[in-house]
């Protein structure tokens, strides 16, 4: 353990975590380079990447982007006494 201590940000440590971290670093480098000089083929990917990296915009919108979805879910009614056959099959 002393030769290979677990980094403070992890609860466990192994080669798969090392590989995952290396892969994430490489992907971030590739995407950052792509954003710095997008072309016709990569512009949509660069826009998408920038949109989820813009934390200020995400925080400003908050959960409001989910409101339509939540309304659809809350409008869904299930008759508990006579559930649809799909639910009956799951409960068997």
Q: Pick left, alpha or beta for residue 46 (phi over 0 → left; psi -120 to 50 → alpha; otherwise beta).
A: alpha
Task: Note the pLDDT of residue 27.
Answer: 92
Domain of 33, in residue numbers: 15-91
- Tens digits of per-residue pLDDT, 10-36? 898 899 999 999 999 999 999 999 889
Residue 54 lies in a domain: yes
Question: pLDDT at residue 92 above 60?
Answer: no
Q: Is residue 4 part of a domain?
A: no
6 domain-assigned: no
Classify residue 9 by its DSSP letter.
Answer: T
* Confidence (pLDDT) at 89: 60
Q: How confident is the model at residue 63 (pLDDT cuts 50, 70, 90)?
A: confident
């Amino acid at each position: 353990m002393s030769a290979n201590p677990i980094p403070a940000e992890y609860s466990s440590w192994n080669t798969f975590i090392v590989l995952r971290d290396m892969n994430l670093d490489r992907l971030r480098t590739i995407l950052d380079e792509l954003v710095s000089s997008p072309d016709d083929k990569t512009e949509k990917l660069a826009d998408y990447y920038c949109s989820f990296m813009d934390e200020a915009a995400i925080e400003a919108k908050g959960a409001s982007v989910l409101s339509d979805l939540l309304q659809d879910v809350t409008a869904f009614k299930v008759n508990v006494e006579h559930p649809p056959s799909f639910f009956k099959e799951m409960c068997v």
